Chain A
Amino acid sequence: MSDAAAISLAVAGVSKSFGGVRALADVSFALPGPGLYGLIGPNGAGKTTLFDVIAGRQIADAGRVLLDGRPVQGLRPHELAAVGLARTFQECRIFPEWTCLENLLFSLRPKGLAGALGRIVTRRATAAAEAIRDARRLLALATLDAYADMPASVLSFGQRRLLEIVAALMGRPRLLLLDEPAAGINPGLLGVLADLIRMLHAERGGLFLIVEHNMEFIMGLARHIVVMHQGAVLEEGPPAAIQASARVIEAYLG
């Protein structure tokens, strides 16, 4: 585990426009250490754009993203993965042809092109027994152990979401971005999902930033919440303070 204990994420003055639409206008906040953080806001608040900027899918027009105080804006997704960032997707992405176990083990493999070419003759892409044990344990935590050796395409949507989360964590990221983990999940399973995220965070450490629409879900999970509205940060603080904030209530109702 590479220093999940010392991780910080800061966004400083990030702006992004699409044509004439200002999706992000001078967004700044700092998440100083490991923990479960929430990012919420009404539809169109700019959450997904900000997420994509942090994850390297979009390039900001201005501003900086700092990981451990070092600027990482402009790095491409695979370069961000190399410095310890992992993410899940709102639309939920897994490798459907691979078994659940293979989905997890792939996160651990080295990804350098030159190294991979060099190892073509010498070694097959097999995993260490210890890694396989770890992967099976994570699958058990996600209640997917019965599907470990089945192709991921047989899973239901909710199960895919669980698989996506444990597969992202398998690579021991220091920063994990979860994009609406509760979206499309059967309400009866939300408790299981929240417990899983809490348990995985307790075990693996690191900074989890969770974009979420489901208020009840995120209020029970995160210890600190950033609220966005119209492309800017409206409020931040612990869940209780956010729920009591008149500005937040107005933004959601107004």
Chain B
Amino acid sequence: MRAFEIIGGLLALAGLWALPQWGELSPYVLHIATLSAIYAIPAIGLNLMLGYGGLVSLGHAGFVGIGGYAAGLLMVDAGWTFWAALPAAMLASGAAGALVGALCLRLRTHFFMIVTLAFGLILHAVMNNWEELTRGPVGLAGIPRPEAIALFGAEIAFRRLPDFYRLTMAAAMAALAVQALIVRSDFGRMLAAIRQDEVLASARGVPVMAMKVAVFAIGSAIAGAGGAFKVSFLRVAAPASFDMLESINIVLIVIVGGAGHLLGPVLGAGLFVAVPEALRVASAWRLVVFGLVLVLLMRFAPQGLAGLAADAVRRLRGKGALRAPGHA
């Protein structure tokens, strides 16, 4: 039955990889798919914090922004390649995450939420107002797509959408793989222990504070990677891409997708980006639709899309729903 999952996963991957070759598809669809992958990356970072560690951060887009601006500035002002700017962006947002985490993770849940919200607002204000560095509200323009690479003798030119799409898919898959490794490790077990009962986890020997700072840094570093891909895709880094609404969007993606499920952020991002577009509901209505979906999901499937899927698989296999929810 494990083989069933692996084959299914490989088929889905092959299908996604071949998406640009599906003939009839317009670049529009590829655009949507690329954007979904780009949203999935920071959502995976937040899922580690929120879904597995129980840390609700309302300022996640700020850390996406740090990565985005770091990558953009390094490419535009310092002339770095995308490949050098990407790890630097992750390092910058990861370090910022560790710093903010060390400052405010001592606060209990709702106070922590408020402080992360404030940090998101501060970061947005800095992007808006530090014009010498960030170019202000109009944004930092002229960010290039990643440089072409040669693979097995064939040139992959990321300035073309199909290749860039495949790059973001691969990046999202890499983030998923990192997430899976973390969740299955001792580190992941300690995170889950903290989410279930912080006091007990501490009594059992888990260094709770250090763990929280570490997962905040890791989640922020992954967000930073998402930011680098986002600005390279949009060719511009603008404050509006990293505002409070965007932070809320990422939280919604994680919750609707299924917090604490490995595939939750990917499903959530796909739904968040693709469905309203497919319905041709303009962006003004996206949140209305999404809000409605959120209400329905929380009422009928509090474990999100991934929880629904897991239940369906269990039912297909004829196993009772004995295991507790929340386990991916």
Measured CB to CB, the residues of A under 8 A from B are: 55, 57, 76-78, 81-82, 86-87, 89, 93-98, 106-107, 109-113, 115-117, 119-121, 123-125, 150-151, 153, 171
Contact = CB atoms under 8 A, between A and B. Distances in A.
A112 B20 CA distance: 46
B186 A119 contact: yes
A69 to B, nearest CB: 22
B324 A89 contact: no
B187 A120 contact: yes
B204 A97 contact: no
Contacts of A110: 186
A76 B202 contact: yes
Interface string B118-143: 00000000000000000000000000
Query: Lowest 3 A-B CB distances belong to which pairs?
Result: A81-B205, A151-B324, A93-B200
Contacts of B208: 78
Interface string B186-204: 1111101100110110111
A96 B189 contact: no
B323 A95 contact: no
Contacts of A121: 181
B154 interface: no
A44 B265 CA distance: 49
Interface in B193-232: 193, 196-197, 199-200, 202-208, 210-211, 214
B182 interface: yes
Contacts of A93: 197, 199-200, 203
A171 B204 contact: yes
B8 interface: no
A125 B202 contact: no
Is the contact region of chain B dominated by helix, strand, or loop, or is it mixed? helix
A93 B196 CA distance: 10
B326 interface: yes
Given A76-B202, A116-B190, 6 more contacts: A81-B204, A111-B204, A113-B211, A116-B186, A124-B185, A151-B322
B105 to A, nearest CB: 14
A87 B203 contact: yes
What interface size band does chain B fall in? 20 to 34
Contacts of B211: 113
Contacts of B192: 95, 97-98
B181 A107 contact: no
B199 A107 contact: no
B184 interface: yes
Contacts of A87: 203
Which one of A57, A78, A115 has the highest number of Cβ atoms from chain B below 10 Å of its Cβ?
A: A78
Given A97-B326, A151-B323, A89 B200 contact: yes
26 contacts: A76-B202, A78-B203, A81-B204, A89-B203, A95-B193, A95-B196, A95-B197, A97-B192, A97-B325, A97-B326, A106-B193, A106-B204, A109-B190, A111-B205, A111-B207, A113-B187, A113-B214, A116-B187, A116-B190, A117-B187, A121-B181, A125-B186, A150-B322, A151-B323, A151-B324, A171-B204
Contacts of A113: 187, 207, 210-211, 214
B327 interface: yes
A123 B189 CA distance: 13
Contacts, number: 95
A124 B199 CA distance: 25
A211 to B, nearest CB: 15
B184 A125 contact: yes
A151 B323 CA distance: 6
Contacts of A95: 192-193, 196-197, 200
Contact of B202 (A77, A94, A112): A77
A57 B263 CA distance: 37
A102 B253 CA distance: 30
A125 B189 contact: yes
B97 to A, nearest CB: 15
Contacts of A78: 202-208
Nearest to B324: A151
A192 B135 CA distance: 72
A98 B193 CA distance: 9
B204 A107 contact: yes
A120 B191 CA distance: 13
A143 B185 CA distance: 30
B185 A96 contact: no
B204 A120 contact: no
Contact of B185 (A106, A119, A151, A171): A119
Contacts of A57: 199
B63 to A, nearest CB: 19
B187 A55 contact: no
A109 B185 CA distance: 11
Contacts of A89: 199-200, 203
A115 B208 CA distance: 15
A135 B206 CA distance: 20
Nearest to B208: A78
Contacts of B185: 116, 119-120, 123-125
A239 B325 CA distance: 47
Contacts of B199: 57, 89, 93
Given A113-B210, A113-B211, A153-B324, A81 B190 contact: no
